[in-house]
Chains A and B, each alone.
Chain A
Amino acid sequence: MSETFTLSINGIQVTACKGQTLLEVAREHGIDIPTICYHPATQSNGLCRMCVVEVEGMRLLQPACVVPAQAEMKVQTDSPRVHRARKTILEMLASTADLSEAPEIQRMMQAYQADPSRFPEAEPRHIPPIDDNPMYVREYSKCILCWRCVQVCAEDAQYTYAIHFSGRGYHTRIDTFYGLPMTATTCVFCGQCVGVCPTDALEPKSEYLLEQGKYPFPFR
């Protein structure tokens, strides 16, 4: 094991190894930090900010999934400031994305008493499902841009690079290059993206059809 040191999380002294993130250290010691975009099998990018924590001496809240633990750090994982930030993040997500098939996020909404109608002027994103291949369906209304699918399509697993972000700001979405149908891209239909999607925005075609009572269409 590499060099170890101690830091304090919620007032408890814990030991960490060099290179570990705050999230890893906390989870190792049974301290729960909620995450959305983080997945142990993919590279963390600190995108959703659900895992933010308060670190003494740092001006901004720190994303625990990417910030390395350091000696003598004093970390609060559930302070009122952290709580408010997480609640707002969830409310903002709920204002634009369809979270109906993301039970984990729904549970977090309850835990943080997030109000899905806090931003009544926000416009939910309505993107029609893209059913352009026999393997999976993309329903970007449910997408929360966690980036995991892009990550496994690239260096985290498949080295295929079929998808990326397109658009900016509110219009940002996951897309193929030039918006081509998936069959016209480098996609090899491994479905690693479906495997890591947290909101069912990517869904196997068979499940999509079964929901509509059409599976095993066309075989039944």
Chain B
Amino acid sequence: MITPDRVVRTVCPYCGVGCALELHVKDDLIYRVTSPFDSVVNQGNLCVKGRFGYNFIYHPKRVTVPLVRRYLLEGQPRPPRAEAPQASYPGNGSTPSPWDWIETDWETALNLVADHLVRIYRESGPKAMATYGSAKATNEDNYLLQKIFRALFRTNNVDHCTRLCHAGSVTALMQSLGTSAMSNTAIEVLDSDVFIVTGSNTTENHPIIALHMKRAVRERGAKLIVVDPRRIELVDFAELWLPLRPGTNVAVFSAMAHVIVKEGLYNRAFIEARTEGFEEYVKSLEKFTPEFAENVSGVPAEDIRRAARLYATAKNGAIFWGMGISQLSHGTASALTLVHLALLTGHIGRRSTGLNPLRGQNNVQGSSDMGVMPFHFPGYMRVDAPGNAEKWEKAWNIEPGGLSRELGLTTTEILSHAGPHGVRALYIMGENPMMTEPNLNKTRHHIEQLDFLVVQDLFINETGVYADVFLPATPFAEKDGTFTNTDRRVQRVRAALPPRGQSRPDWQILCDVAKRIEARLGRPTAGWEYQHPSEILAEVSRVVPEYAGITYERIEKEGLQYPVWDLKHPGTPFLFSETFPRGRGRFIPLDYVTAAETPDDEYPFILTTGRLLEHWHGGTLTRHSSLDELYPQAYVEIHPADAEMHGIKDGMMVKVSTRRGEVALRAHVTEKTTVGVLFIPMHFAEAAANLLTNDVLDPQARIPEYKACAAQVFPLHEEMLSPLPRGRY
């Protein structure tokens, strides 16, 4: 037993649940993590990542010194990328390469960053500049990053991984309701009597919300409907499981709406009082009979009817969804079908009901709120709507008309536009697109087209190897700030440790970069003299009305759920009790759409991707922690029936290929997946699922189709592997 020097209360850096953590520190080492039993979000419960996943902080591969490539230090022109060796850190090999990483001081690194960003901006203008924010970083970090690119480089090419996770949901909710966050608080599920979980493996990806759900079922008698192609753990708790083929959400949920309308189970009073477009929408439902849905999705029509009746007749019905809804080339349509169900039944605007997109990252809600999106300033103010740019021009001391009113490029588009006439300089803060973008083989060609790449992170990850300058940032435990969790709760993140080595908190790095850029451009200052992150949040609160009442003092003990309209406002546990932000909720008629790629003779399987309890997204953190010891390897899930037909046994090496790439990994023969469906987790660089995924985008939300593409799988037998090299010496 060790007596801690201090115990620091902060927020978990992994998923969007936002659990309270207490970090026990001895000699600047975190050796134990607990959670206060009175925490409103998680009541003392944690998952394996929150409780044990922190030792990446001490991993020897963590970079704690600024790094620049040798050619930059020597003032040489950028050599061709083909000459870049795979890994040249620390650059003290016997044969110096212009791409060697050289350890340097902050002054040199920051000046190089400012010099080259400004050079490219002068040469090619705003369209050549772009940045990725980070849903792992704090609100303050993200706000500053977008401020740099908007105020100094006058571009809206600002985005982050929200594009890759819930862009479909955000677009659908924006179109139909006028806002995009989770409508209710997750723990309210304890008082729902029926709830739908779809496209979300909640147990693994939002473990603490899954605990609430299980409790609702076991102790409160709630009925759970799971709509998911995988037999996820929650199916054990479900009244009904609708195992649909990936990419057929629109058919299944529209068929549920069809049943609700045909059987007169809809809430007429609510529809009349709060919605518009009902008549036209009902016409569009004609084609979505349960039999039609059964035909395309494989879900028995009778189960669709039962699910529809259960949800429609509930007292408090809620819908929770994850990326299985949004990560499709029709992610917007797919999420709209869920909005329709809530509008039809009136299961929204009350406690324990609602539309609840479970946000993935610890701060994906916050970084979206902070305007790290190409279409919106902070506070979801459209960049192209009149009056919005003016507000920010005033706040940032910019001449009228100075800010760009043009929509910027999204995450996937930023890289696909890389090149001499498109995006030339990219600044990536804490993201790993070389793991998380779809169709990585193509993405690699794109990233090689950049002229200058700055990466600000903890590790040289799959993206960091393409960087020209690497700025060592600090993880959650070494900085102050705020995260906004999935139920809109803005919570305090506190430094428990001093920054390791020379690493610095992101907000400090960004302020220093900004000041240098500003001086070189000779612009009047937009304001970068912050002594503490609380001053950054105060700047946000002055302009963004939803954050107006949030101050560090108020969230010292417990977070506040925005909107918090003023300093007296208590926060908002659930939204839409009176009205929707756009006025009436809108029904939007839909046609049947499905995945862009469907199975054929050559690629007879549907490959779907997702996450594991033990790992986190691109793996930059968890694969450098003891979580990797717990779950060291990728695998592909295949159903026993398929496995038998293809001669695949549990644990066997197999090759999975799609039209875009192939990976070799072990097979896990399990009924957790359904017949015809393969599943590969996205975390493992050595068998990256995103080498296989389809980079087709949803036309409105620009989200890629991670959840369904055509694939083939075959066993890798010994004789198919190349012989060992003979060796010449």
A residues with a Cβ closer than 8 A to B are 40-41, 100-101, 103, 133-136, 152, 155, 157-159, 183, 188-192, 194-195, 200, 203-207, 210-211, 215-216, 219-220
Contact = CB atoms under 8 A, between A and B. Distances in A.
Given A159-B218, A205-B626, A190 B58 contact: no
Interface residues of chain A: helix, strand, loop or mixed (majority): loop
B31 A206 contact: yes
A60 B52 CA distance: 44
Nearest to A103: B1
Contacts of B629: 134
A204 B21 CA distance: 15
Quick one: which of B30, B33, B55 has the most chain A CB within 10 A? B55
Question: Sorted from nearest, which 7 A-B pairs have the closest CB atoms?
Answer: A216-B58, A101-B1, A191-B51, A189-B48, A134-B629, A134-B626, A135-B52
A220 B62 CA distance: 11
Contact of B52 (A101, A204, A210): A204
Nearest to A206: B31
Contact of A194 (B30, B51, B59): B51
Given A135-B626, A194-B51, A41 B44 contact: yes
Given A189-B630, A215-B29, A195 B34 contact: yes
A190 B31 contact: no
Contacts of B33: 204
B292 interface: no
A173 to B, nearest CB: 21
Contacts of B48: 135, 188-191
A134 B89 CA distance: 29
Given A134-B629, A159-B214, A216-B58, A192 B46 contact: yes
B64 interface: no
Chain B interface bracket (under 10, 10 to 19, 20 to 34, 35 or more)? 35 or more
A183 B32 CA distance: 20
A196 to B, nearest CB: 8
A207 B630 contact: no
B35 interface: yes
B45 A190 contact: yes
A135 B46 CA distance: 13
29 contacts: A41-B37, A41-B43, A103-B1, A133-B630, A135-B52, A136-B52, A157-B211, A159-B211, A159-B214, A188-B613, A189-B52, A189-B614, A190-B47, A191-B48, A194-B51, A195-B34, A204-B51, A206-B30, A206-B55, A207-B1, A207-B2, A210-B26, A210-B29, A210-B31, A211-B2, A216-B55, A219-B55, A219-B59, A220-B58
Interface residues of chain B: helix, strand, loop or mixed (majority): mixed
Contacts of A100: 1
Interface string B1-32: 11000000000000000000000101001111
Contact of A195 (B51, B218, B614, B627): B51
B727 interface: no
Given A41-B44, A157-B45, A219 B60 contact: yes
A189 B219 CA distance: 23
Contacts of A152: 45
B45 A188 contact: no
B324 interface: no
Interface string B684-711: 0000000000000000000000000000
A191 B46 contact: yes
Nearest to B58: A216
Contact of A215 (B31, B47, B614): B31
B366 interface: no
B207 interface: yes
Contacts of A41: 37, 43-44
Contacts of B627: 134
Contacts of B32: 204, 206-207
B31 A207 contact: yes
A107 to B, nearest CB: 14
Contacts of A220: 58, 60
A190 B1 contact: no
B263 to A, nearest CB: 34
A216 B29 contact: yes
